[in-house]
């Protein structure tokens, strides 16, 4: 399949409460992370069959990502972004994923800070 023929399934504004940060006070209270996820997926079969089994189940992806992010404290949003990208590539048959992790209010006088990673199954030496 040509790259131009690949569709995108998006999850925008997935808000997850978790322990995140490097400072002692951050390790004692939950903060919000906001994730935007874009996943390459061929939607043609699902559109034809109108069957969830042929689609990328974004509800299931959201549940799995939320559980993974919240399961244990992490220090860096970079770690969260990389972990979410790896999870999606490994568990959902997605070939390309972009994950943006934002931490609103992390920097005084800034509305938001965020990191974005783009990963592909082809990035792996075994891809």
Nearest Cα neighbor of 21 from 69, 76, 66 is: 76
Pairing, β 31-41 against β 114-120: unpaired
Active site (annotated) includes residue 72: no
CB 20 within 8 A of CB 73: yes
Q: Which of 27, 29, 72, 103 is catalytic?
A: 103
Q: Which residues are catalytic?
A: 103
């Amino acid at each position: 399949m040509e790259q131009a023929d690949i569709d995108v399934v998006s999850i925008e504004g997935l808000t997850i409460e978790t322990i995140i940060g490097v400072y002692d006070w951050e390790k004692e209270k939950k903060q919000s992370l906001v994730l935007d996820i874009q996943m390459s997926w061929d939607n043609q079969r699902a559109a034809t069959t109108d069957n969830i089994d042929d689609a990328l189940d974004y509800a299931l992806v959201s549940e799995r990502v939320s559980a993974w992010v919240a399961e244990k404290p992490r220090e860096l949003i970079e770690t969260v972004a990389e972990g979410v990208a790896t999870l999606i590539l490994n568990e959902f048959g997605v070939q390309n994923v972009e994950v943006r992790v934002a931490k609103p209010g992390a920097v005084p006088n800034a509305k938001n800070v965020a990191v974005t990673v783009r990963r592909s199954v082809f990035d792996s030496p075994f891809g």
